């Protein structure tokens, strides 16, 4: 799917922007030494040494990952600089431009940019990986594994030089697939289809319910127009403890508060553009369906649809409506297997492809208005060569019909939001981040 959707305007890579504070003992040429050391890495491990077998034809029956035995780190690892002293706005402009550049599929589909010139000797890493190679969950785990909890650790290599963990085969597990296993898989698939059909019937019966959102609920909005290749990126951070306190007081979850902050920001932003729909905006919320201790790799993501209640003026009532909506959506998934959740999610979101038909963009009712996702990250401070990671801002994928994507990542007691959108479709996108900063205090006052 991610290869099929790759075009000049809809580039299917995900990224992270990671600002660092330098170590106290950093020499003047710290970043030059760091770049030389990174590029001198002798080995690039899987999956970062994999490239496409047929890069000229992304979608074909013979497509597969093949090993690149001569990865050119001079190409993949790059050094950039802001006019010193650079500020956050200039950093945002630079990574927006980097995010608007396509991946070269003739090479392993990833890049690392070391950005220097920030005030006080600070620097940033911008890491770009194509979504066909890893999903956001895997990317965050891999990236975190290349950082250290110890500020004195100055030897840990970056993610592409870390060896992939060996998979331990359980007792009695063989390399082949035998007939009893095949029969069990068929039976499981039959059970999966039954549970998915039941969930779809429940949704059809509740099509007029405000709580259980169906693909018929989302209103037409400027968020669902065609996009250009140009991107704009903005950030915002919140203390996780404050957000959890709001969730507890409202009898909701942390994800509910995330949606409420996004809803408040969107309501104000679209209101300023005189483009706020009368009906509530609908978000597609990815759901991780991996076991708790899964090491990651590949893609394993389900989805729910949730009302953002942007038609509700009162912040407290809006949060209540969001909680009711996500609760009903999660009830649909209860009792489903991992395979059933993925199958149900695919059917739930599949009408989105109709929006991509020529002439349909902006004319047909969208299945959902935007994607809002929360990727769990490390809860302890991390360091890279003694430099402290300040935040971890995720950057996801705008596509035709979805001009805005909001992703947040938890890190060391904060939730870091990344707002990424089409620069031409959504003007002054940075205002979304400003309005999001006002939304949490507004919620705290509303539930006090």
Say what the pLDDT of residue 235 is. Answer: 96
Residue 199 confidence (pLDDT): 47
Per the CB < 8 A criterion, the answer to whether 276 and 308 are in contact is no
Q: Is 168 helix (H, G, I), strand (E, B) or coil?
A: coil
Cβ contacts of 240-248, under 8 Å, gap ≥ 24: 240/410, 240/413, 240/414, 240/415, 241/413, 242/440, 242/444, 243/415, 243/440, 245/444, 246/319, 246/440, 246/443, 246/444, 246/447
Q: How far apart are CA 165 and CA 284, in angstroms?
A: 32
Query: Within 13 Å and on the Cβ side, how many CA atoms surround 195?
Result: 21
- Pair 232, 428: CB distance under 8 Å: no
CB 375 within 8 A of CB 408: yes
Helix (H, G, I), strand (E, B) or coil at 301: strand
Position 84 scores a pLDDT of 80
pLDDT at 38: 79
At residue 333, the pLDDT reads 76
What pLDDT does residue 144 have?
81
Contacts of 151 (CB under 8 A, 6+ apart): 23, 383, 386, 388
59 CB-contact burial (10 Å; exposed 0-12 / middle 13-18 / buried 19+) = exposed
pLDDT of residue 361: 59
DSSP, res 353:
G
User: What pLDDT does residue 5 have?
Assistant: 85
The one catalytic residue among 13, 113, 130, 131: 131
Query: The whole model's pTM is what?
Result: 0.85
Report which of 222, 237, 345 is spatially closest to residue 289, judged by C-alpha positions.
345
Which domains are seen in the chain, by residue range?
13-161 (3.30.559.10), 187-381+389-447 (3.30.559.30)
- CB neighbours of residue 429 within 10 Å: 22
Of 339, 369, 340, 338, nearest in space to 352 by CA: 369
E strands, 228-369, where?
A: 231-239, 282-288, 301-307
State both tokens at 12: 């299917």
Q: What is the pLDDT of residue 303?
A: 82
Rg of the chain, C-alpha, whole Å: 22
pLDDT in single tens digits along all 448 residues of the chain = 889 889 999 999 999 999 999 998 888 888 888 888 877 777 899 999 999 999 999 988 889 999 999 999 989 999 999 988 889 989 999 999 999 999 999 999 999 999 999 998 899 999 999 999 987 667 777 878 889 999 999 888 888 888 766 655 544 444 554 545 445 555 555 555 555 555 445 555 555 555 577 677 899 999 999 899 999 999 999 999 999 999 999 999 999 999 999 999 999 999 999 999 999 999 999 876 544 445 444 444 678 889 999 999 999 999 999 999 999 888 877 767 667 766 766 666 666 666 666 555 556 678 899 999 998 888 999 999 899 999 999 999 999 889 999 999 999 999 999 999 999 999 999 999 999 999 999 999 999 8
Active site annotation includes 131: yes
pLDDT at 223: 96
Cα dist. 106→52, 53, 70, 79, 194 in Å?
Answer: 7, 9, 12, 21, 42
- Cβ atoms within 10 Å of 242's Cβ, excluding its own: 16
């Amino acid at each position: 799917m991610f290869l099929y959707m790759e075009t000049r305007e809809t580039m299917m890579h995900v990224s992270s922007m990671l600002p660092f504070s330098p170590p106290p003992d950093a020499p003047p040429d710290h970043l030059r030494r760091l770049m030389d050391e990174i590029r001198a890495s002798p080995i690039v491990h899987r999956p970062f040494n994999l490239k496409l077998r047929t890069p000229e034809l992304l979608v074909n029956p013979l497509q597969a990952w093949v090993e690149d035995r001569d990865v050119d780190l001079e190409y993949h690892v790059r050094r950039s600089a802001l006019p010193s002293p650079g500020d956050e706005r200039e950093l945002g402009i630079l990574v927006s431009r980097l995010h608007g550049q396509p991946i070269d599929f003739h090479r392993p589909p990833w890049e690392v940019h070391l950005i220097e010139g920030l005030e006080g000797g600070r620097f940033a890493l911008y890491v770009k990986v194509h979504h066909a190679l890893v999903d956001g969950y895997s990317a965050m785990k891999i990236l975190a594994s290349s950082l250290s909890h110890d500020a004195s650790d100055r030897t840990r290599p970056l993610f592409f030089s870390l060896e992939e963990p060996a998979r331990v085969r359980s007792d009695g597990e063989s390399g082949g697939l035998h007939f009893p296993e095949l029969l069990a898989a068929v039976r499981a698939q039959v059970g999966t289809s039954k549970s998915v059909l039941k969930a779809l019937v429940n949704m059809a019966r509740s099509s007029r319910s405000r709580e259980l959102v169906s693909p018929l609920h989302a209103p037409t909005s400027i968020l669902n127009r065609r996009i250009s290749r140009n991107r704009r990126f903005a950030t915002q951070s919140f203390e996780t403890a404050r957000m959890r306190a709001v969730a507890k007081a409202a009898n909701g979850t942390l994800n509910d508060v995330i949606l409420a902050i996004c809803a408040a920001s969107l309501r104000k932003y679209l209101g300023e553009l005189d483009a706020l729909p009368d009906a509530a905006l609908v978000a597609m919320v990815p759901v991780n369906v991996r076991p708790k201790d899964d090491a990651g790799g590949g893609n394993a993501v389900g989805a729910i649809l949730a009302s953002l209640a942007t038609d509700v003026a009162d912040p407290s009532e809006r949060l209540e409506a969001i909680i009711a909506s996500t609760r009903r959506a999660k009830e649909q998934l209860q009792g489903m297997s991992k395979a059933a959740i993925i199958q149900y999610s695919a059917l739930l979101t599949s009408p989105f492809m109709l929006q991509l038909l020529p002439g349909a963009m902006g004319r047909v009712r969208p299945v959902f208005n935007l994607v809002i996702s929360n990727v769990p990250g490390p809860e302890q401070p991390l360091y890279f060569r003694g430099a402290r990671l300040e935040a971890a801002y995720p950057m996801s994928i705008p596509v035709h019909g979805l001009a805005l994507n909001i992703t947040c990542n938890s890190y060391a007691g904060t939730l870091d939001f990344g707002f990424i959108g089409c620069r031409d479709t959504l003007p002054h996108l940075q205002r979304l981040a400003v309005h999001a900063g006002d939304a949490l205090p507004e919620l705290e006052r509303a539930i006090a």
